[in-house]
Amino acid sequence: MSTHKNKEKKVYTISKKLRIAMIVFMLLILALIIRLGFIQFVQGAELKEKMYYQSTKNQIISPKRGTIYDSTGKALATSAQVDTVSVEPKNIVEYTGDKKDEEKTEALKEKLAKTFSEIFELDYDETLEKLHSNSSYSVIARKVEKDKVDKLREWMNEEEIYSGINIDEDTKRYYPYENLASSLIGFCNIDNVGAEGLEAAWNDVLTGTPGKIVESQDALQGAIPDSNQTYIPAQNGSNITLTIDANIQTIVEKYLKQACLENKCSRGGNAIMMNPKTGDILAMATYPDYNLNEPLEMPINIEKEKWDKMSSEERMNAIYSLYRNRAVTDKYEPGSVFKIITASIALEENIEEPDVANEFNCIGYQVVSGIKMRCSEGTKHGKQSLRQALSNSCNPAFIQLGQKIGASTCYRYYNAFGLFEKTGIATSGESNSSIFWDLEDVGKIELATMSFGQRFKITPLQMITAASAIANDGILMQPRIVKEIKNTDTGAVTTVDPVQVRQVVSKETADTMLDMLETVVETGSGKKAKVKGYSIAGKTGTSEPDPGNPDEGFTASFLAISPTENPEVVLLVTLYDPDGPKGHYGSSVAAPVASQILKEVLPYLQVPSDSSENTDANKTTNLPNVVNKTVAEAKKIIENAGFICSTSADSTEIVTEQYPLKGTSLMKNAVVKLYTNSEDTRISKQVPNLIGKSLSQVKTELRNLNLNLSVSGSGTVISQDPIEGTAVEEGTVVKITLSK
């Protein structure tokens, strides 16, 4: 009986345990179903996306940034293939057996740090710190040239070290002409994004769109053969062609720099050259400039001793100040150059005629509302016509003229000349607006100072754009800096057409103004802007320091238009705070700079010269353009012009460049060097000392060096340019002055 009960109790216990186990099992099944349902319906989309990313590999294809060309086809900014070297610190490990060997791992990282620092010229301690980083990825060196990467790869093969080191394709921005047009072109940051200038303004056009490759990969992140692969090609950035001519830009920068140094311009200067018919900017220069390939190096206008004493903040402020394209960003008081605008308004409104005698009276000053406003240089000009007042740059005469015109009429024309708004030039940093009084606040004193160009501020670009309207039959053009965009993938070209803004004054007024401005250069304050053989119209400018900021000093400027019959160029030279031996007047420091620039640019542009002052012995001829012709054709043209051709290239090759440049005035038997794709090596020559030598001796000495000659005067050499010891290219013209 007892045994039977024990059996029943045992069976009951087993049955109960079984039921409990079944219940637990059912609960687990239910939990699993709920979990599966949660995964399927709640987390399904997220997990599916994670699975996709884990089973696929995306490789980004970087687009090539577009090239920036000048108007002659020279590459001013271009991209080259480079590499970026990075490491995965956690994967740089040494093992002993199956275990990580800390001592060997440390030794490996020290060896890598030493190699990286030597090849890429890096700080050893900083590099070692990156190798010890807890991050999964750390960049060692960006934008590395091929020779250094090849050296690293060779070392890795020798040491049999591969794990944890990545070498990825990248691009680096290069500026072949370094400082040329630096404030205009700007530069890219480390990620190839435009940071300043045209690089920033046209970044979207130049950058392009990245592509990618999507392919399946296994659990070890290896590619699965024959799996579906998606290839999305990169869209390369477009090329842009500027209106800037690198040859003209070089000439303008050379003389601007020389003027800033000779005249001790503490705040530098800028110069703009424009084609008035199209609005094309042919050159836009700022001094001091900087090397676009090394934008963070010490500024060229700061001495090292001073630099070493500056704080890091002061250094960065000094560097950043170089990036400003002052021609479009900085406002200034234009001074007497602005008298061009005042005189144009008077002529257009029939308030004055150019040659009516005794229209204005200058006693050396003008009293306006009890304030004595003196004439430039304190001169008493007496009775004058408008032409004479402009030629003398007489302030009292223009105060009297401003009173005749009135403030409301002045403002109507200021607006028409575009002085109240941006010019619309297609680059970054253009100043938002000029600084003028509100019309209702313009009293007699304000009207008086405005009439001769002071106590208001505009940008140099606004000034030259307004003056170019006078040189273009009274028609205002929008400044154009980019003239063509080319899609590098399709070859499609988009032309940026010149934009005519409005007719500001009549052609008759414009012609009269050019005639009067030519008088300024021939007999007036602008005589130092003369260029032998060319007609020049121009106006000097000297503005006093802003009372609100007297430390700015004087601003000297000169605006030139040439030739006067059919203007091809307008040039504005502006020098800030000149404090050299020549003083601070535009007539003495800025006008000569304009003359130097135009003396080289006008022949280069093949503007006809009316000069007949050369003797037969030293007679010069303008060099024709032979670029893009075969060597045989070019040689024939050059020899027919009386010059000697220098090249060893095959006669069927195409000439890619000539030196000297087209339009250069050369004497008979001058040497012209031709370059082709196969012969592109520049040979440097040192200019000898020519002082005290006869013309015959100089000719022989320079001919032996394949250098050319430009002569003025007679006798023996008293000066030469370039100076002795200067390294120059074959074909360079050496200018000498002779005297008895």
Q: Is the pLDDT of residue 220 over 70?
A: no
Residues 6+ apart with CB under 8 A from 235: 63, 208, 209, 211, 489
Query: In terms of Cα–Cα distance, which of 345, 357, 462 is closest to 406?
Result: 345
d(Cα 295, Cα 188) in Å, to the nearest integer? Answer: 10
Higher per-residue pLDDT: 361 or 131: 361
- Average pLDDT (631-644) is 90
Distance of alpha carbon 564 from alpha carbon 511, whole angstroms: 9
CA distance 182 to 268: 14
- Say yes or no: 36 and 161 in one domain: no
Are residues 64 and 209 part of one domain? yes
How many Cα atoms occupy the beta-carbon half-sphere of 105 within 13 Å?
16
User: Is there a contact between 210 and 62 (Cβ–Cβ < 8 Å)?
Assistant: yes
Q: Tell me, rounded to whole angstroms, the distance of Cα 67 from its chain centroid.
A: 13
From residue 633, alpha-carbon distances to 105, 338, 664, 682 in Å are 68, 49, 19, 22
Is the pLDDT assigned to residue 460 strictly greater than 80?
A: yes
Q: Is the peptide bond before 288 cis (omega within 30 degrees of 0)?
A: yes
**Residue 614, token pair as written in the block:** 């050369």
**Same-domain check for residues 151 and 15:** no
What pLDDT is stored for residue 492 in this prediction?
93
Q: Is residue 65 domain-shared with residue 212, that is, in the same domain?
A: yes
In degrees rounded to 5, what are phi and psi of residue 304? Answer: -60, -35
Q: Which residue has the higher pLDDT, 161 or 335?
A: 335
Question: Is 121 found in the same domain as 8?
Answer: no
Regarding whether 195 and 141 lie in a shared domain, the answer is yes
Residues 30 and 168 grouped into a single domain = no
In the chain, the percentage of residues whose pLDDT exceeds 90 is 55
Which of 11-20, 96-105, 180-189, 426-435 is modeled with the greatest confidence? 180-189
Higher pLDDT, 209 or 482: 482
Distance of CA 497 to the CA centre of its chain: 21
pLDDT greater than 50 at residue 613: no
Q: How far apart are CA 730 and CA 706, in angstroms?
A: 6
How distant is the alpha carbon of residue 269 from its chain centre?
A: 15
Q: Using an 8 Å Cβ cutoff, are 276 and 472 in contact?
A: yes
For residue 510, pLDDT beyond 70: yes
Element (H, E) at 358: none
Q: Which of 190, 220, 240 is the last residue of a domain?
A: 240
In the chain, the amino acid numbered 306 is K
The Cα–Cα gap between 575 and 595 comes to: 15
Whole-number pLDDT of residue 6? 59
The domain tally of the chain equals 3
**Residue 683: domain span:** 620-739
Q: What DSSP designation does 351 have? A: S
Any domain includes 687? yes
3-class SS at 714?
A: coil
pLDDT per residue as tens digits for the range 437-448: 999 999 999 999
Task: Report yes or no: 555 and 332 within 8 Å, Cβ to Cβ.
Answer: yes
At 611, the pLDDT band (50, 70, 90 cuts) reads: very low
Number of H helices, E strands in the chain: 23, 35
pLDDT for the residue 407: 97
Radius of gyration of the chain (CA): 36
Nearest Cα neighbor of 70 from 206, 196, 207, 180 is: 180
> Residues 187-200: what's their mean pLDDT?
91
Look at residue 390 and tell me whether its pLDDT is greater than 80.
Answer: yes
Q: Which run of H or of E encompasses 709?
A: strand 708-713
Amino acid at 58: N
Question: Bigger pLDDT: 611 or 243?
Answer: 243
User: How does residue 23 score in pLDDT terms, banded at 50, 70 and 90?
Assistant: confident
Res. 82 pLDDT band, cuts 50 70 90: confident
| Distance of alpha carbon 136 from alpha carbon 685, whole angstroms | 54
C-alpha distances in angstroms, 331 versus 327, 334, 441?
A: 8, 9, 21
SS (H, E, C) 75-137: EEEEEEEEEEEEECHHHCCCEECCEECHHHHHHHHHHHHHHHHHHCCCCHHHHHHHHCCCCCC
Cα 718 from Cα 713, distance rounded (Å): 10
**Average per-residue pLDDT in the chain?**
87
Interacting residues of 33 by C-beta distance below 8 A, sequence separation 6+: none
Q: Which residues contact 196 (CB under 8 A, 6 or more apart)?
A: 186, 187, 295, 323, 428
Q: Kind and range of the H or E element at 294? A: none
Domain endpoint, select from 220, 240, 260: 240
Higher pLDDT, 485 or 129: 485
pLDDT digits (tens, 9 = 90+) for 298-346: 998 888 889 988 998 999 999 999 999 999 999 999 999 999 999 999 9
Beta strands in 504-651 (DSSP E): 537-543, 555-562, 569-576, 620-622, 644-646
* pLDDT tens digits, 108-121: 888 888 988 888 88
629 and 700 belong to one structural domain: yes
| Any domain includes 603 | no
Dist CA 696 CA 717 (whole Å): 11
Least confident of 230-234, 395-399, 622-626, 642-646: 230-234
The helix (run of H) or strand (run of E) holding residue 360 is strand 360-362
Round to whole Å and give the CA distance between 515 and 354. Answer: 9
- Cβ atoms within 10 A of the Cβ of 105, count? 15
pTM: 0.72
> Does residue 720 belong to any structural domain of this protein?
yes
Alpha-carbon distances, residue 511 vs 344, 354, 474, 505 (angstroms): 10, 11, 9, 10
State phi, psi for 613 to the nearest 5 degrees: -95, -5
Q: Please say which residue of 209, 240, 271 terminates a domain.
A: 240
| Residue % of the chain over a pLDDT of 70 | 91
Tens of pLDDT, residue by residue over 662-700, are 888 888 878 899 999 888 888 888 999 999 887 767 877
Local structure of 404: helix, strand or coil: helix
Question: Among 236-250, 462-476, 546-560, where is mean pLDDT lowest?
Answer: 546-560
Which residues, at least 6 apart from 492, have a Cβ–Cβ distance to it below 8 Å?
A: 486
Note whether 571 and 598 are within 8 A (CB): yes
Same-domain check for residues 205 and 131: yes
- Greater confidence, 498 or 647? 498
Answer whether residue 212 shows pLDDT above 70: no
Residue 616 has pLDDT above 70, yes or no: no
Contacts of 369 (CB under 8 A, 6+ apart): 443, 444, 445
Does one domain contain both 16 and 98? no
Assigned domain for 93 exists: yes
Residue with the larger pLDDT of the pair 628 and 44: 628
Instruction: Quote the pLDDT of residue 11.
Output: 58
b/e 415-450 (16+ beta carbons within 10 angstroms → b): ebbbbeebbebbbbbbbeebebbeeeebeeebbbbb
Q: Are residues 92 and 190 in the same domain?
A: yes
- By C-alpha distance, which of 657, 730, 641, 737 is closest to 693? 737
- Six token digits for residue 691: 């002082």
CA distance 9 to 15: 10
- The CATH number covering residue 228 comes to 3.90.1310.10
> Are 17 and 119 in a shared domain?
no
Q: Is residue 634 a part of any domain in this protein?
A: yes
d(CA 165, CA 170): 16
Any idea what the Cα angle at residue 75 is, between residues 69 and 76, rounded to 5°?
Answer: 80
Q: What is the pLDDT of residues 525-561, one digit of tens each?
A: 999 999 988 999 999 999 999 888 888 899 999 999 9
> Of the spans 43-57, 152-166, 480-494, which averages the highest pLDDT?
480-494
In a domain, 107, yes or no: yes
Q: Which two tokens stand for residue 289?
A: 């400039």
In a domain, 677, yes or no: yes
Please report whether residue 639 resides in a domain: yes
